[in-house]
Structure 1
Amino acid sequence: MERDLLKTPIEFLKGVGPAKADALKTEMGIHTFEDLLHTYPFRYIDRSKFYTVNELQSAAAEVQLRGRITSMQEIGAARKKRLVAQFEDATGRVELVWFKGAQWIAKSLQMGKEYVLFGKPNYFKGKYSFPHPELELAEDFTKSPIQGLQPVYNSTEKLTNKGLNARGISKLTRVLLPQVKGLIRENLPSRILEHYKWPSREAALFEVHFPQSLERLEIARNRLKFEEFYFIQIALLLQKDLKTKQTPGQVFGEVGDTFNNFYKNNLPFELTGAQKRVLKEIRSDSRSGKHMNRLVQGDVGSGKTVVALLSMLIAIDNGFQACLMAPTEILAQQHYNGLAELLEGTPVRIALLTGSTKTARRKEIHADLLNGQLDILVGTHALIEPTVKFRNLGLAVIDEQHRFGVAQRAKLWKKNTIPPHILIMTATPIPRTLAMSLYGDLDISVIDELPPGRQPIKTVHRYDSNRLQVFGFMKDEIAKGRQCYVVYPLIEESSTMDYKDLEDGYESICREFPRPEYQVSIVHGRMKAEDKDAEMQRFAKGETQIMVATTVIEVGVNVPNASLMIIESSERFGLSQLHQLRGRVGRGAEQSYCILMTGNKLSNEAKTRLETMVRTNDGFEIADVDLQLRGPGDLMGTRQSGMLDLKIANLSKDGQLLQLARKEAEGLLQEDPRLEKPEHAQTRTFFVAQNKGKVHWSKIS
């Protein structure tokens, strides 16, 4: 019965009809009674509180007054006619203004009668006015359902024109709720409801739409947020169970000569404690006989690539091949150069395959892969082409996996009969809450130490008016034999944005740093690949002291001698991008610096970003601030995931509830992996309905 009624098309709800139904479907995705039930208010207004005129403040949000209309006047020509009314209480007078429907509103208002006024006050030249206020006769208000906490729903212009503004949607919800009363089934185990003293699902839904008190509203919202997280976590944990327990993994049973000789003779520095810990986690996974699916997080320069290389050497010791896939040619080339240099003098054979690889070389690589002459293949998307066949691929390393689609990653699985172990690396720090939801089906390792000898980068914020001092600091660093990056957000001048552009910046840098005393490189995305590489190599070899670039160098050559990063118009960059750019310096033993240049006018959000960058080098703290500022939808492209279709929960604010849901979901599946116990029947029914076609219970043990 519940299912049938909740699935009823929205046009059959009293007060909707075909035209409004079409608008609700196209504007808000409300197709059924159930969709409307799960369209939650985004805020609430306290309609129990009344103000007097002398209590008004110019910055006030919506307020509620009691008073009488003492005069009315229509002003202006026919088409631009507006209605102005005086509204008084015992403490003062305010003006009410209507710019539309003046004649109709004038006829509907009653002089001298007591009204309840609700609206947002405007303050101008010492007077308060209310444009288009809501008015209701006081005698009607006392019988009205909108007293107390009033829900405010999202709406659109198209819906408002159909009479479905926030209040209109509230009325529809008020019509719906009595019809579904007694039909909304519970979906959480009774043990959880009792433990956290949460209301039933039905009670929580009713409370969220029409709250009786702030305290009860908070409890109801927490219960529904937990529910959203809980079922996402069950799905992720079941996926993880399928990938690890049900998918067999290659067994890397021994650590042999290839690994040991490299570790003793070729490793250029002592591993950090964090690197050793992560390597042990990978070692434990790869010898367990279960498929490894592990994400390694760590800031730029934390040594993820060395951990990946050591893992590849373990694969080679056990008779397997390995590959490393990067999202761009520049990054693939950088990985190849770095690995080839480390492996020099060892018997390990490594090759690079990208879209630019010549046909003859490509054929050689294909042949060497098939006959086992090649141990490690580094490349871009070219690695997943059908023509690339391995003799025995045991480990696939993916760098910055969020830049690859799901289908692309899946192609790597098919490169061997038993899928290769998967090791994912990211230098984009992911907040714990987002990682638990985006990558909840992965095991997560964190490299949270920098190699010894690395000093934290000193970051400062400077305005354009400080440019001469900044140029002086650049000259001081260059005089010490160091190099500098200067990064711009645009390639050429934009008429719509007053940001420093690359070409103008390059010219001013060349004027300030003239040849032959100084040499300046320039790199941007519109250059030919070979020209870009040539300029980067000149900088890497120390032939140029200054690199003027766009964000193309966010991933680029590793230049330990570069000690200064200047980011122009830094207010235009997101936090994660600023952090990535800063990570281009600080790769040597010398003290490095990052200078964030801006104009004088900054939004509050831009100020928060800059203050965060100046305060900390901790990528995870920066990622948390970024999540709070931008929300999960804009971070890591999570809108594509589908799994994070959250209606009421918020990843950036509800981290504790998410961790609680994760813990409870883990406990549930440990106790009852297939949700077969009678007390979990409702949870299972709800979960299966939500995840039709996504979860195969026959495979879950």
Structure 2
Amino acid sequence: MPRTDNNTSHVLAADPGLAPVNTLPGVGPVLEAALERIGITRVQDLWFHLPLRYEDRTRLTPISELRIGESAQVEGTIEAVERGFRFRPQLRVVISDDTRTMLTLRFFSFRRAQVDQLTPGARLRCYGRIRHGAHGPEIVHPQYQRLSGEGSGIEETLTPVYPVTEGLGQKRIAGLITHALRKLPADATLELIPENLRIHLRLLSLREALLLVHRPPAGADVASLVLGIHPAQQRLAFEELLTHHLSLRRLRAQVREHAAPRLRGSGKLRKAMLKSLPFALTAAQRRVSVEIEKDLSLAEPMLRLVQGDVGSGKTIVAAAAALAAIESGFQVALMAPTELLAEQHLRNLRDWLVPLGIEPVWLAGKVQGKARSNALAALAGDAQLVIGTHALMQQAVEFRNLGLVIIDEQHRFGVHQRLALREKGRDGITMPHQLVLTATPIPRTLAMTAYADLDVSVIDELPPGRTPVTTVALASSRRGEVIDRIRVACAEGRQVYWVCTLIEESEQLEAQAAEVAHAELSSLLEGLAIGLVHGRLKPREKQVVMDDFRAGRISLLVATTVIEVGVDVPNASLMVIENSERLGLAQLHQLRGRVGRGSQASTCVLLYQPPLSAMARERLTAMRDTSDGFVIAEKDLELRGPGELLGTRQTGRLEFRIADLARDAAMLGDVQRIGAAMLDQHPLACERLVARWIGGAARFAGA
């Protein structure tokens, strides 16, 4: 590979961005540790610690013109203050402005000094996201200041909002970034994309883009900054997309340098398993199985992602791959993110494989004492297949000869976890094959970027016998009709899910909401066996309830979103999702996939609290209009961006600092073309780009 980078060592030495962050004023050991938690160790990390969004505090909005789901700044006079205890202490402050419209400010965490300051007659300026409350619009935990006299002037420019962590607030990080920006060098040192390529793409200089994005000047195009389409943001988005592409291309090449065992089984066990099944594989399942077989037969590590909508039959495809490894004398590890999902795999694989003489080993966090010792001994000995959770990655777990790693719902694992399991199979220069499964359909643009290091297979066909699910959206005022429908369904011998959701991401609050719903439904549906499952139950308690529901001893299961994956009850044909407007499309689709798994006509009822925001209305409409997971995924990417589909960078999943795949998809062609040219002609610049945008996370990216 030709290397045309000139004076690279000189540039590195002269680059002030490589200085440790503790060289900035005010950065002592405590602050340095807080910065390190979010990946900031060098000055240049602060340059590229980009705003998540901007708050528009350049104007005041009359309370009467507030819109649900949007953020706004208002001023008003306190009319009433009320302290209460509903589930937990809370403080309600009601303000009004010249329009005589009321706005509620709600606090769940507050100090006595705040209560003393928030008194009737005081004037406040508040900023926050507007949501629908019981008595009109409200803001939960607004940012506010008490005004005195004429008050203070409003901001002249947009206010950037940065990612922060405990011990590092917005004010502190903004101050540090100001110090870091003073050390920005001239473009010659800063630029890593070759000049001829930048000119061809008409990109702004990097220095100009960084200064504008961090400190939008008076007169900047506010509308384009809020939308993320300002030329400065697009310049940075291009470089970030390019970096991720380069990182994954390099990673794929590095992994391919390792050897892997050739897993060429005779096919005898696979044929026996398929013959024993009460169903035939679909054409899509057969196609994907052939792709996997070909990969496993090669002497380089397989890196294959299998996408399939809920119920498309990914597990049987994974089982066939496992048998190829077992026939070749190698061990297989299947890891799932929750015990519910792992136990679902354990039941299925036992049914299919025990008749073939293969007894899966079970290893989860709750496996302790003698059972754990026996499981560990089996893995070091003659065990052929182990199924479990993150417990598989613990230090005490050792394999005899791990040849295939299967990871289900991989985006729920952090990069360190996936790397730890793969490393357990490394033997000198060899590495186990990897098969990754996901029931979260991934749009093509997202797969091109997030999984450039993986070969992607799609199971795009549902098995025969699966019934389509009818989806209806009903206002919560029709809750009584829905409960009557549950009564009829259970009388006919069918089973029902009632899913509780809360906007606050709190397991405790969700559990309380589920308990309240369980008590209410128990009183309204006397005589019905009603179960309750939520995240705060002990695993054993949760398992007892789920086993009773599977066996038909429970007719109605009240649950939180803990049932999103890993639950297969073919007799359940009705699902009610309460406060459905609070969930993203991907999660709604995953939940809906719990019904329609048998031959009965199935229904999903989306109960919502009016009025709906524009985005919530689009989500519910999409759910009513289609059951195609890939159509749903494209819509979810359009509405919410990649974060909902793949999660955050800190946990090893993909969330960009400034790029947006739905918005910036048109760049991907140029990204791939420029990436190929840079890998060929400017490899050292590629390394510096990866260090700049990804840093230490790069080595984990393909775990």
d(CA) in 2 for partners of 1:356, 1:188: 51
Give the superposition deviation at 1:352.
2.0
Would the alpha carbon gap of residues 420 and 182 (structure 1) be closer, same or farther in structure 2, given more than 3 Å must change? closer
> Which residue is equivalent to 1:332?
342
Which amino acid in 1 is paired with 2:271? N
Which amino acid in 1 is paired with 2:333? C
Give the TM-score, by structure 2 length.
0.69
Task: Confirm or deny that 1:454 pairs with 2:473.
Answer: no
Which amino acid in 2 is paired with 1:419? M
d(CA) in 2 for partners of 1:409, 1:261: 32
- Identify which range, 363-372 or 35-44, moves more after superposition: 35-44
Q: How many residues align?
A: 586
Give the superposition deviation at 1:309.
0.4
Which amino acid in 2 is paired with 1:403? R
> Which residue is equivalent to 1:258?
269
Which amino acid in 2 is paired with 1:409? R
Give the superposition deviation at 1:238.
0.5
Q: Is the 8 A contact 1:312 1:395 kept in 2?
A: yes
**1:140-165 per-position Cα deviation (integer Å, ceiling 9, x unaligned):** xxxxxx9xxx8875699x99999x99
Give the superposition deviation at 1:316.
1.4
Q: Is the 8 A contact 2:585 2:632 kept in 1?
A: yes
d(CA) in 2 for partners of 1:574, 1:504: 23
d(CA) in 1 for partners of 2:529, 2:169: 60
Task: Confirm or deny that 1:580 pairs with 2:585.
Answer: no
Which of 396, 420, 443 lines up with 1:411 in the alignment? 420
Matches within 5 A, 1:340-359: 340-357=350-367, 359=369
Task: Confirm or deny that 1:231 pairs with 2:243.
Answer: yes
Gaps of 5+ in 1: 48-56, 62-98, 101-129, 136-145, 697-701
Give the TM-score, by structure 1 length.
0.69
d(CA) in 2 for partners of 1:300, 1:381: 23
Task: Confirm or deny that 1:558 pairs with 2:563.
Answer: no
Q: Is the 8 A contact 1:499 1:569 kept in 2?
A: no
d(CA) in 1 for partners of 2:41, 2:385: 52
Which amino acid in 2 is paired with 1:342? W
Q: Is the 8 A contact 1:353 1:380 kept in 2?
A: yes
d(CA) in 2 for partners of 1:308, 1:298: 12
**1:421-458 per-position Cα deviation (integer Å, ceiling 9, x unaligned):** 12122223344455455444333333232212223211
- Identify which range, 183-192 or 480-489, moves more after superposition: 183-192
> Which residue is equivalent to 1:381?
390
Which amino acid in 1 is paired with 2:349? L
Would the alpha carbon gap of residues 202 and 406 (structure 1) be closer, same or farther in structure 2, given more than 3 Å must change? closer
d(CA) in 2 for partners of 1:598, 1:607: 10
> Which residue is equivalent to 1:611?
621
Q: Is the 8 A contact 1:252 1:314 kept in 2?
A: yes
Q: Is the 8 A contact 1:487 1:548 kept in 2?
A: yes
Which of 452, 462, 481 lines up with 1:469 in the alignment? 481
Give the superposition deviation at 1:660.
3.6
Which of 234, 256, 260 lines up with 1:249 in the alignment? 260
**1:514-557 per-position Cα deviation (integer Å, ceiling 9, x unaligned):** 32xx4333333344433432322222122332222223322344
Q: Is the 8 A contact 1:204 1:220 kept in 2?
A: yes
Which amino acid in 2 is paired with 1:550? T
> Which residue is equivalent to 1:401?
410
Which amino acid in 1 is paired with 2:563? I
Give the superposition deviation at 1:295.
2.3
d(CA) in 2 for partners of 1:400, 1:538: 26
> Which residue is equivalent to 2:457?
445
d(CA) in 2 for partners of 1:587, 1:443: 29
Would the alpha carbon gap of residues 58 and 339 (structure 1) be closer, same or farther in structure 2, given more than 3 Å must change? closer
Give the superposition deviation at 1:653.
2.1
> Which residue is equivalent to 2:437?
425
> Which residue is equivalent to 2:294?
284
Which of 318, 323, 337 lines up with 1:313 in the alignment? 323
Would the alpha carbon gap of residues 44 and 286 (structure 1) be closer, same or farther in structure 2, given more than 3 Å must change? same
Would the alpha carbon gap of residues 619 and 310 (structure 1) be closer, same or farther in structure 2, given more than 3 Å must change? same
d(CA) in 1 for partners of 2:602, 2:211: 57
Task: Confirm or deny that 1:510 pairs with 2:522.
Answer: yes
- Identify which range, 413-422 or 428-437, moves more after superposition: 428-437
d(CA) in 2 for partners of 1:151, 1:490: 31
Which of 524, 530, 533 lines up with 1:523 in the alignment? 533
- Identify which range, 546-555 or 680-689, moves more after superposition: 680-689
Q: Is the 8 A contact 1:189 1:680 kept in 2?
A: no
Matches within 5 A, 1:622-633: 622-633=632-643
Give the superposition deviation at 1:291.
1.0
Which of 384, 395, 400 lines up with 1:391 in the alignment? 400
Would the alpha carbon gap of residues 59 and 462 (structure 1) be closer, same or farther in structure 2, given more than 3 Å must change? closer
Would the alpha carbon gap of residues 25 and 433 (structure 1) be closer, same or farther in structure 2, given more than 3 Å must change? farther
Using CA pairs below 8 Å that are at least 6 residues apart, which structure has the higher relative contact order? 2
Task: Confirm or deny that 1:486 pairs with 2:498.
Answer: yes
Which amino acid in 1 is paired with 2:324? I
Give the superposition deviation at 1:680.
6.5
Identity over aligned pairs, percent: 39
Q: Is the 8 A contact 1:5 1:180 kept in 2?
A: yes
> Which residue is equivalent to 2:548?
538
Would the alpha carbon gap of residues 198 and 585 (structure 1) be closer, same or farther in structure 2, given more than 3 Å must change? same
Matches within 5 A, 1:188-227: 188-190=193-195, 192-193=197-198, 195-198=200-203, 201=206, 221-227=233-239
d(CA) in 2 for partners of 1:29, 1:293: 27
Would the alpha carbon gap of residues 193 and 44 (structure 1) be closer, same or farther in structure 2, given more than 3 Å must change? farther
